[in-house]
A and B are shown apart, each in its own frame.
Chain A
Amino acid sequence: MTSAPSAKQFKALGEEVWKSKVEKINAELFTLTYGSLVVQLVKDYEDYSEVNKQLEQMGYNIGQRLIEDFLARSGIGRCVEFRDTAEAVSKLGFKMFLNITPNVANWSSDMKEFSLIFDENPLTEFVELPEDALEGGLWYSNIYCGVLRGALEMVQMQVETTFVSDVLRGDDATEIRVKLIRYLEEEVPAGED
């Protein structure tokens, strides 16, 4: 890939990588595993905002490692603009690992914030949140936020990712807001443990 690839090129590359270079596992197994993980966290911490934090932290650890796999398999070079990053995340990243392509939308005027809108979410098959999870503010798929933050940090972007809405909570759509804080230069990133 030479200069900024277009969204279409990302899409085509994503399809190709998904078809040929990715080993697949059973969807139910994956969903059930994540489900029991969340339920266990809920039992252990009993506080939904703490569970959200833990999910995000786990995602962060996953993201830091996942980015290497992503770069190796997709073979793409550096993104020139944040816009390309967004497209790469949605059409390559999510496609390769989950076979979904969330829509990139709601760009802010300074082009430093965007939303990912999911019309399907493999983590939430069969899931119904109980009353107290709804009241307690649980973001069931919060692991995505962590994965994005961890992965992007490894390619020198510090971002803030938060859930805006979730179909599981009765909202119309599942949306994550991604905000670029700054590009990290050659400095050592602030200790994150």
Chain B
Amino acid sequence: MSNEINCIALIGKQNNPLYLKNFSNTHPDLKYHYIAHTSIDVIEERVASGPKNLDLYLGLLYAMEDLAVYGYMTNTRVKFVVVVSVTEGIIRDADMKTIFKKIHSAYLSQVCNPFYNLDSQRSIDSKAFIQAIETIGVNANSKATMEI
């Protein structure tokens, strides 16, 4: 087992937490909340410094002890953060991009639900969405390497 997704987090355009899923049992949820929150600053820095940044995928935001944090921001300023535990060398950008695309799809399906209130600051509690995120994490982790 090389790299594993430990956490997927979604942050709204007002930097409110939309959803967080902890896949690992090494760290408590709270730690990932902190990580996601820190990521917001890093993302804003990245975006401010490079206005010609046309890509939604932001790449590696920062790394800590055993974790690497990747970011992705939509044009509507919704941010996705994926925390990966790094045990072996290489995590391919292409793989991360695929994961982010899937998260983006799940988010799109959620947004298209007319009963979902975009402006509410509450987190997402739709069963379909929770299931979709669960599937993304589980599928990514069930492969021996990070090939999707």
What is A's interface to B at a CB cutoff of 8 Å? 28, 31-32, 34-36, 38-39, 125-130, 133
Contact = CB atoms under 8 A, between A and B. Distances in A.
27 contacts: A28-B112, A31-B112, A32-B114, A34-B114, A35-B112, A35-B113, A35-B114, A35-B115, A36-B114, A38-B114, A39-B114, A39-B115, A125-B112, A126-B110, A126-B112, A127-B113, A127-B114, A127-B115, A128-B113, A128-B115, A128-B116, A128-B126, A128-B127, A128-B128, A129-B115, A130-B115, A133-B115
Interface in B88-126: 109-110, 112-116, 126
Residue from B115, B116, B127 with most neighbouring chain A CB atoms (10 Å)? B115
Nearest to A31: B112
A133 B109 CA distance: 19
B115 to A, nearest CB: 5
Interface in B8-50: none
B115 A32 contact: no
B49 to A, nearest CB: 35
A121 B126 CA distance: 20
A128 to B, nearest CB: 5
A129 B127 CA distance: 11
Contacts of A127: 113-115
Nearest to B111: A126
Secondary structure at the B interface, as helix, strand, loop or mixed, is: loop
Nearest to A34: B114
> Chain B interface residue count: which class?
10 to 19
A122 to B, nearest CB: 13
A32 B116 CA distance: 12
B112 A32 contact: yes
A36 B117 CA distance: 11
A122 B86 CA distance: 43
A120 B110 CA distance: 19
Contacts of B128: 128
Nearest to A42: B115
Given A35-B112, A35-B114, 11 more contacts: A31-B112, A36-B114, A39-B114, A126-B109, A126-B110, A127-B114, A128-B113, A128-B115, A128-B128, A129-B115, A130-B115
Interface string B124-136: 0011100000000
A125 B110 CA distance: 11
A113 B116 CA distance: 37
Residue from B112, B114, B126 with most neighbouring chain A CB atoms (10 Å)? B114
A136 B114 CA distance: 17
What are the 8 tightest A-B residue pairs by CB atom distance, in nearest-first order? A35-B114, A126-B112, A39-B114, A130-B115, A126-B113, A128-B126, A128-B113, A126-B109
B92 to A, nearest CB: 31
